[in-house]
Structure 1
Amino acid sequence: MPHRTRLLRAVAAALLTTVAVVAPAAAPAAAAPSAAPLVSTPPMGFNDWNAFGCEVDERLIRETADAMVGAGLAAAGYRYVNIDDCWSARTRDADGRLVPDPVKFPAGIRGVADYVHARGLKLGIYGDAGTLTCAGYPGSLGHEDIDARTWAEWGVDYLKYDNCNNQSDGSQADYVRRYTAMRQALDRTGRPIVYSICEWGTSRPWEWARGVGDLWRTTGDISDNWASLRSIIAQNAPLYPYAGPGHFNDPDMLEIGNGGMTATEYRTHLSTWAMMAAPLIIGTDLRTASAETLAILGNREIIAVDQDPLGRQATVVSDHAGLMVLDKPLAGGDHAIALYNATDHLAAVGVPAADTGLPAAPAYRLRDLWTGRSVQAAATIEAAVPAHGTVVYRVRPLRGPETVPPAVTVAATLPTVVPGADSTAALTTTVTNRAPAPVRRVAVTAQAPAGWVVTPAGPDAQPRLGPDRSLATRWTVRAPDDTPAGRYPITVTARYTWGRGRAGATSSELVATVVTAPAAGRWALSKVPAYATANGLGPVEPDQSNGGAGIADGNLITIGGRHYTRGLGTAAPAELVYYLGGACTRLVTDVGVDDEAPAAAPATFTVDADGAVAATSGPLGSGAAPATLTADLTGVRWLRLVTTGAAGAHTDWADPVLSCGGAGPDDPVRPVRQTIFSFEDGTDGFTTANPGTGGAVAQSAAFHTDGSSGLRVETPVPGNWFGAPVPASLDLGGRSGLAFDLRTGDVGSVGEIAVQVGDALTWCQAGRWAWTDPHRSRTITESFDDIECPSGVTLDVTRIRVVWVFLNSGGVVHIDQVRAE
């Protein structure tokens, strides 16, 4: 995984100054669509944020421009090199103009633009429709005209316009007003500047932003993990009626190459973005990108789908049980058909050709845009798609002789594998001929990892397989005793002849899931991997409530006014499945409907142990006190946590603790936490790092996640660091990072963490700047791996002397339980 550097900001926060707000008096209506769109196909380019955070400078942008040209990405259509947050000085100049940070951009933005333009590329910049950007730099609210003129004079070609510190009343009218103000300011400059609205889908911009922006974010920020990608696809794909040439739904930037997902998942990333006519904005370090990353990003045939002149977003033809089919008409009459498998297992994904926009034909030619292989199919467009994978076919009617190989699908299913000589799993393989003519001499093989035993338990060959006919074979699978828990590939291959005796073969990779029982100890269940989850809305959320369809969009779990920092946020109906293998004895958990849920949303919680009810709550409603369930799990192999009731009810399993391997009630709950500041005896000495900037603290019982008290913090608009020396030098060896709990008031706030280490009290921080909306709560976390110190200093987690948190709401927020995890 490429190293992700973060900006080191020492106590320079003292330089922050308050920015005046001048808001328009009335909300204008959304602009009418222009006759000639500035971008008729989705923009393609690069943005530094996903890989570099705040650590952006002139050298990075210049070297990225050179890398885009040198790697052939510019020739493939990537043309915008976009600078994200943290590029400016902390204050405007005497004339009220934005000023590039003179250290980061000694040649100014104009100089960088000239460099980028000289390479045939275009330059993008970042702004914010609030008083401050998300990282605390000057925002453009009330400064729209002067900022638009400034960017135009610098030669900027693209503006990403964010939504932090927005001072909004939350109405759609306010969003229209703020974003239209910048649209009009950009138009007055006379310079064509692509306008990317980045308000995270909060005000449903697809309903109003056509004619205001050229593209608009439809979701929260993407993260470099499968859960985030899956969630964003689910949110953006249904919005196809709102997109077209010059007005595009934007599901956020690409994470391809940053290391948090597999190559299969990254191919799904690019495939679905192309099908959804989404902007392709690279978010990895192109100077060090691997050949595999460049091959994915540079796939010309996938890019052609994204950049098709029709500018259409694919229609969702079907979406059921994690399997989705997308159909995108292309200029010239072809169609792109994407078969997307969001499940954790190999699956046959298909659609009748008659259900798509394809014209009727006796057969179709299917070109796989990732493998380059073409096959012919009759009435059904189908493929065996790996877990988290996507097959994209370019499809057209097939005419002429049968010179194209047949479409043969090789699917397989395999339940969980438990290692050991006494345990076998049943593998089922299914070979289906989707071609208009028969295939012959069909033979199936299954290849497992070394040491595994796979044996057919039925016929694995057939002399003839007609159109739309299948051969199903059962096998027994045994994994060695010492196989660790994990995922292992099994390759299933069908060999056959077609046409006049031509040899053919089709292979699919099945991923076998090996499970083992949890280790001995008392475990926070939110840290134990589930074998499977099903949720009524969005993903199951560890250690927060289920806020909605997005990932990490909930609050701290809150039941009857009580806050929890550990737990599982679900939405009814939901089910979580865990393999215990007879190694555990007890589960104790609080349950209830989260306070954020509507009052009329009762739900019932059931603990199922090997098919028997081990504990149940009865109906619980929003606002009710939490109920405690205790379940005897002695000898239980499979644990299921089930919620039923009102659809979409926010159902919480709060502070669930699983005891395994003889663990006693007094054993610590793992992973073990170490509280640093709890505020039970007062403010714990908290003060501000920059007294001249403002801010005050007081003990408060209004919000607490541990004990009975937390800390009330009055924060200045520019923000300040709040913290205190620890009683003794902290040795946090063996811990992974720091965290604290935050609840905002009438305005949102940034949350960030820094430490001072060693006798020199060296300042080290991460530059993550997590944003929390008004009247929301969350745990702010920071990994030690992402905390950076000045050049020449290594973070010594055994000698932490001071811990700081950054807050900048311009109002009152509450925090509690500053801790190591």
Structure 2
Amino acid sequence: MATLRRLIACLGGTILLHNAHGAASAPPDRIAMPQARFATGDDPRRAQPDFDDSGWATVDTSRNYEKQGFDGHDGYSWYRIHVTIPSSLKAGSDWPQRLRVYLSAIDDADEAWLNGVPIGKTGRMPEDPGGFDGRWQAVRDYQADLSKVPVHWDRDNVIAIRVYDGVGGGGFHRDVPSISMPNRADGLRFGPERARFDFRPDGKVAVSLDVANDIPTRQRGQLVMEVFDPRSGKTLQRQAGALALAAGQSRTLRWTVPTGPGVEARLRFVDALSGRGIASRLPLPYLLTPADGAAPAIHGAGVLGARPGTPLAHRVPATGKAPLRFSAANLPAGLTLDAATGVISGTVPAAGSYPVTLRVENAAGAASRVWTVEAGDKLALTPPMGWNSWNAFGVNVSDAQVRATARILVESGLAAKGWSSVNIDDGWQAAARANDGELAGNERFPDMAALGGYLHGLGLRFGIYSSPGPATCGKYLGAYRHEAQDAATYARWGVDFLKYDLCSYHDMIAKTPTRAAHMLPYQIMGEALKAQPRGIVYSLCQYGEQQVWEWGADVGGQAWRMTGDILDTWASVLETGFSAAPYTQYVAPGRWNDPDMLVVGHVGWGDPKPSRLTPDEQYSHISLWSMLAAPLLLGNDLTKLDAFTLNLLTNAEVLAINQDTLGRAASRVRDADDWQIWVKPLADGGKAIGIFNMGDRFRRLRVDPALYAKGQSGLPYQARDAWRQRALPGAGGAIDVELPAHGVMLLTVR
């Protein structure tokens, strides 16, 4: 182990080991490429090294070209990076057969050449089979085989990158690209995305880790696994052993280890020949939500807003040992309840308030609850809950995937906790309209009305996506100049929810737009939806421009995005969720600030992988969105639903905070010393309190919940830990909160 010489520098879940005293400076064996030559348009000759790019603009490679004088450009463009590659790189590598060309992240799709030879491609270009598919969030980490790709050592080399941007920001947008030579150990893959977890009754977790050798030579060395607890600062478990893998071989390693908040497995492999190594940190998931009991329980919102005289399909969310038997007292005329499935269907009654007593029975007991149908002009009286296809499948979504997801929502128990909408994002539209202007689904969606009927038969809601512009963000047909026609089509298909994304309409607005210009396209569609014989929840997606939270309801919206798209990183959660603090006063029933979809489980915008958020960060993510009274829209691939994610998403007490009928968002009452405290008023007079550790280490804080719940320290209170669903001991006084980095304690106090 004395030969480990490299400081931990994380990339994609795997960590390179560097000299142990340094900090964040770039290693000397990596050539940074902070600038490139850039031009819009398309010409295949630009891939060749002798192409004359002397007249091109020079741009930074760590930010979009829109921010560097090319505002509003969508479509094709090229970068050309001239770089001298020193021969000394070879001396620092124990495997000089490959050159690593790290191109960071590119918006949206790209293909790259080194000295005229292709070295990598991410996403699909419009001319490719299947059409355009952007992968703006994906890391471009290309490997050039030096037996096939010429490199001019100590002389000029040209990396040419062809880019296609669908809409919005384009080109490079993350960290600086670089060139380096990988070592043998870099070909060993054992990051978090290769792990699976099974939870044991004793609280431990069984870890299965797939280790793969991706280089064409044998790997041999030692692998060490240590379980570290940041609370105690101690190593809880250590195992070491020899590891040998032939070229291309993989092997599954298994351990049973303790887990808990902040606990992680630290893995380290050292190559036997060179002494060089790599390391990976594997955050260990842990379960907080107690299992549901055998006795029945009814969950979800206590109120439903619906338009009089319109169709309704609603699944009563309930748990308990099957079979369950459902009944309802005072169900309005025109609505019926299926006693076996709990699906209420029919026609919404005349305007008025209709309290219904729902009852669920099984062999273990019975439960009842008042559920009120508010028939009137207001929809989405509690934040929408469901699933959206974008973060999992991107533009490649299909009817089969949507139906499979709907079945999983029901069969997994997610629908039994209120996850009730299935929303198709971009990529469902046909390539062209019919002669009469009618819009249809493409070959992946042969019968949209039948799909809507299938979802309604399960008691789920049907959501769809479009744009006010001529094209969507994925370059599919938008609703421009067909708004009323498309709204009528949605209604015929049985659509219950529309996400309306600015996309190409952004290019139709002046560079210094007025608020009225932003409102206009959303008002047109809002009026078209209101004219339909169906209640369709209207979600505006224009990224918070012109303070949409101030006018979204005026154009008929029930929810509106506040920021750009979320990523599965803590920095993105900070940017999209915690940044909402100044605007929470605008939230009310039917008026929801939307910080974007949830990034838990397997996400990847067409290539789903486990979320890069740690388990602690995922608990904070769900907690904050619940406190914000934000729409809860899953973005994960439910066919890969794991036990941790299911446990995370089925906590009835946490979800009740989000679905509370008062419809108020939390206010941030403390933001100091890397601690944030948020307080949300509840309909029964209680308060929900979220305590977040924003720091990067396990820390303790003394808090008196009465100060935040009752306005004065020292008063008596009753508090529950919502995640663990248990009462805190005592009836008052300060408590000591211990939280891991980016962790949360979520309380309800009365």
Q: With structure 2 as the length reference, what TM-score do the two structures score?
A: 0.48
Higher helix share: 2
